[in-house]
A and B are shown apart, each in its own frame.
Chain A
Amino acid sequence: MHWLSTALILLPVGAAVGIWILPLRPFAVGSTALLVALAEVALWIDSVARFDFSKPGLQLDQQTSWFSDLHVSYHVGLYGFSLWLVGMTVVVMAAAIAYAFWAGRDRPRAYYGLMLMLTGALVGVFVAQDLLLFYVFWEAMLIPLYVLVGVWGGAGRLRATLVFVIYTMAGSLLMLASIIVLGLSQGTFDLVGSGTNGSDWIFLGFAAAFAVKAPLFPLHAWLPEAYRESSPEVAAVLSGVVSKAAAYGFLRIAISKFPGPTSDFRIPILVLAGCGLIYGSLLAFRAPDLRGVIAYSSLAQLGLITFGLFAVNDLGINGAVLQMVNHGLISATLFLLAGGIERRAATGELARLGGMARGRPALATVLMTTGIIALAVPGSTAFAGEFAILAGVFRTGWAWAVVGCIAIVLAAMYMLRLISAVLHVAPGPSVSEAALDLRPAELGILVPLVACLLVLSAWPAAITDRSFGHSPTRALREVLR
């Protein structure tokens, strides 16, 4: 029994309720939210300090019965890999809240309350160790997202939220049916030590939910609009963290609880992931605006992560976990940068941007560094993740690795296109001379994110050696089922 996992959920949720109830002034609300987000990061650091990375099992866990007749319990706890994902979540959420505080948002009490609520729900997804509890948090993250995009989004927000919610709920409800069937047939809803299941249908129910949320090709129709219409920090959370919840679900439930169906459906899923990888990269290369590039690159990256997961070997899964953290940080940084650029140029269209490097060294440096890491130059943490994934998937079949390599080349193309379209070439019509460089506050938000990426670049083994105790496949066999 340990309180830390619970505290990681309750701190932001409690703060959200407090913000809603107490009549604070706008500035006080924003700063409270930011402080709570930073306290959440501190809590996470505390749990890293208490975590024993040599053990593969569940740690810092807590279990209380919720309703006993169907054996549903409040069971939370952390594995090595979920600890890293929680860390990525709290860091990105802190950055997103800081960005919103800096940019200023209407109706701050509602806004920051929802952001904190979202933080709690996301952390909950990563720490829940009971199927129903997992579902509760999974759905709970949808409500704040729905409102955050629907109220504070752009002009097309109503349509974007509608499509987003219908897609994700269709997937989620199939998962609910699967959860009920699985939980009742095995007599408990607990995720730890409840054994494996061989039913293809139950597996597909879970896979549908994760595939929509990730998203996997061809279930990505909600993605471009949702990413374009939301405010930059919400887009950062959507692509950085929410998509990782889906990848986590694949790993924690689909792959670990259904070894049989996983191998049955491995080829179709790898094909879909490959399609998404190539298709997303091509679209990212052709996208006319900043958000489009980042959104479709997100689709491609999720395809790559799925590659790694469904390689179902040590290298692939280790690489996938590292890449989840990488991509979370990278896409959050890029979306926040895109937000900054859009504020300066009042547009995200690449054709109207350009030449922003001149006289704006900080912007150029941050964008360049993030972009270079994103396109996986050797030595970067993304390179480490992608290399491990490709090496892992190579063991499944060389053709998959070829697909992955093509995608990495494409990634270089679209990232470089993005960088040069914003920073280099002739100054675009929307870029005025007066547009400022990144302000100190913006740097204060972005530099920590980039610093995390640089630290991981120097030491990717921090994650790959500390996610599963010894080896992922062994953890899958012994601990996670």
Chain B
Amino acid sequence: MISTPHVDWFALSPTLALLGAGAVCLLGAVLVPRRARRPFGATVCAFGFAGAIVAAALLYAFSAHGHGVIGDAIQRDRLGALAMMIVAGAGFLAVWVSATEPMSEDHISEYYALLAWAGAGMAFLTTASTLMTLFLGLEWFSISLYVLCAIDAKLAGSLEAGLKYLIVGGFGSAMLLFGSALVYGATGALRFGEIAHAVAVQGLSHDALLVTGLALVIGGLGFKASAAPFHMWTPDVYEGAPTPVTAFMSAATKTAALVLTLRVLVTAFPQEARLWTVAVAVLACASLAVGNLAALVQRGLKRMLAYSSISHAGFMLIAIAANNALGGRALLYYLVPYSAMSVGSFAVIAARERELNAPVTIENLAGFGWERPLLGISLSVFMLGFAGFPFTGGFVGKFYVFAAAYRHGWTWLVIVGVAATAVSLYYYLGVVRALFMRPSEELQLAPVAGGSPPPERLLQTAVTLALAVTVGSFFAVEPLIEGAKHAAGAIF
């Protein structure tokens, strides 16, 4: 007879809300008339994400003292709760962007179900506190995303994206699993805290097995966070996947993967800090270099943003490499405006795609800013935010990241980050230039249907919300950083 541990349902509530929403969406595939499936799925999914946000917020409020629950398989603390809020927020916006996406009706219910389940997997992952739940959460959301990437089979590149993501992602998962096995072999422990304890007690910090395992775990997580040199899948998948899925992935996957990286490195491998801080800093530099340099030559906007997301993984890895409370705070703060800007910019791309019925490139953005000022200005603000200009949260995020690196004593890393920012200006401002400074006459493309573009109120609302978060996080630094401080305080 297996004795079941006590289950803290409250700690699981955000995950459960999303699981439930996904199940209802799937039921809709058989119970709801065909025409109503899309609004039904979108509504249920949106409520699921909204419920998850509320549940995570409550969880944050009532989890001032972090502790393991459900047999210590997951950690109930503010770090997880805050990350869940960011993931669910990104998902919530992604649903709004999806609602008017011209996808075929065949799999619309499955689409929303998978979206909710991917969110559930990520929410679960951010609280994982054993190597087992870590792998479970990772696969959970990855499998949902593999299917989501390939769901629009009529879209050129969608199947390819799904397959590529599956193969490369599978490789990453295998690496992670192998690394976990090695760590378990070296320490005989699965729980993060016990691993740290075993390393300290048994003096394993120079154990080859453990160090190899650690390296593989970092690599496996690097795949999910799309940090160089594990980034190869990112541009193709971001480009091929339906744009709302890309929007969700770029924000939520990164949040889940990076928060978990921080958690696992800080709580399970404190004795190895001398090693992994350097390793993560090297990954950060590689990501900054690869992401920024490759983005310079991209013409396709989705591809460019994919490389930009690699470079932002680099910035956030700087915060992790700092291995101090300020770094934790920097990471959690950074994720808020970053997620909003990511979802927002992909939403604008989705809108332009629908207008042109063609992939969006720098060239065919010409004049878009004047034609649709709200979307144009929003996209410009997101780009300026990515580039770290003031009046966006991107600025404060970068400032905190650099401050954390400096406090760790790594001024060189600050210089690398600053240099990377300087390079990134070229392509971010290139978008602003395309939007506003080139006349649309240069572009010999007419909107598909002719006449004025569809109003798309839902999408515009999502973009406006993302804009509000991007700009608002610049002014409301104090409450956000206070939240991030408590969250990071759970592990530091």
B233 at the interface (CB under 8 A from A): no
B465 at the interface (CB under 8 A from A): no
Report the Cα distance A70→B478, complex, angstroms.
11
What is the predominant secondary structure among interface residues of chain A facing chain B?
A: helix
Are B481 and A166 closer than 8 Å at their CB atoms?
no
Report the Cα distance A137→B370, complex, angstroms.
26
Are A161 and B433 closer than 8 Å at their CB atoms?
yes
Q: A136 with B414: in contact, given A65-B478, A176-B402, A184-B406 (CB under 8 Å)? A: no
**How many residues on the A side are at the interface (Cβ–Cβ under 8 A)?**
34
Interface string of B387-423 (1 = CB under 8 A from A): 0011100011001101100110001001100110110
The distance from the CB of A465 to the nearest CB of chain B, in whole angstroms, is 36
B210 at the interface (CB under 8 A from A): no
Are B414 and A177 closer than 8 Å at their CB atoms?
yes
Chain B residue contacts of A151, Cβ below 8 A: 436-437
Are B390 and A135 closer than 8 Å at their CB atoms?
yes
The distance from the CB of A394 to the nearest CB of chain B, in whole angstroms, is 39
Chain B residue contacts of A146, Cβ below 8 A: 429, 432
Closest to B407 in A: A184
A45 at the interface (CB under 8 A from B): no
- From the candidates A69, A136, A166, name the one contacting B426 in the complex (CB within 8 A): A166
The distance from the CB of A219 to the nearest CB of chain B, in whole angstroms, is 15
Report the Cα distance A223→B384, complex, angstroms.
23
A107 at the interface (CB under 8 A from B): yes
Chain B residue contacts of A426, Cβ below 8 A: none
Chain B residue contacts of A173, Cβ below 8 A: 418-419, 421-422
Are A67 and B403 closer than 8 Å at their CB atoms?
no
Are B399 and A147 closer than 8 Å at their CB atoms?
no
Report the Cα distance A95→B42, complex, angstroms.
53
Are A140 and B391 closer than 8 Å at their CB atoms?
yes
Are B384 and A157 closer than 8 Å at their CB atoms?
no
Report the Cα distance A66→B481, complex, angstroms.
11
Interface string of A152-179 (1 = CB under 8 A from B): 0000011001100110011001101100
Are A139 and B402 closer than 8 Å at their CB atoms?
no
Chain A residue contacts of B419, Cβ below 8 A: 173
The distance from the CB of A14 to the nearest CB of chain B, in whole angstroms, is 14
Are A180 and B433 closer than 8 Å at their CB atoms?
no
- From the candidates A69, A136, A157, A181, name the one contacting B390 in the complex (CB within 8 A): A136
The distance from the CB of B362 to the nearest CB of chain A, in whole angstroms, is 13
Are B403 and A184 closer than 8 Å at their CB atoms?
yes
Chain B residue contacts of A166, Cβ below 8 A: 422, 425-426
The distance from the CB of A19 to the nearest CB of chain B, in whole angstroms, is 13
Q: A169 with B436: in contact, given A177-B418, A180-B399 (CB under 8 Å)? A: no
Closest to A150 in B: B437
Are A180 and B425 closer than 8 Å at their CB atoms?
no
Chain A residue contacts of B477, Cβ below 8 A: 66-67
Chain B residue contacts of A68, Cβ below 8 A: 478
Are A181 and B411 closer than 8 Å at their CB atoms?
yes
Are B390 and A66 closer than 8 Å at their CB atoms?
no
The distance from the CB of A141 to the nearest CB of chain B, in whole angstroms, is 10
Q: A70 with B433: in contact, given A139-B389, A173-B422, A176-B418 (CB under 8 Å)? A: no
The chain A residues found within 8 Å of chain B, CB to CB, are 65-70, 107, 132, 135-137, 139-140, 142-143, 146-147, 150-151, 157-158, 161-162, 165-166, 169-170, 173-174, 176-177, 180-181, 184
List 18 additional contacts besides A69-B329, A143-B389, A166-B425; criterion CB under 8 Å: A67-B481, A70-B403, A135-B390, A137-B390, A146-B429, A146-B432, A147-B436, A147-B437, A150-B437, A157-B437, A158-B437, A162-B426, A162-B429, A165-B425, A166-B422, A170-B422, A173-B421, A177-B418
What are 16 sample pairs from A and B whose C-beta atoms fall under 8 A apart? A70-B400, A70-B403, A136-B390, A140-B389, A146-B432, A150-B436, A157-B437, A158-B433, A169-B425, A173-B421, A174-B418, A177-B402, A177-B415, A180-B406, A181-B406, A184-B403
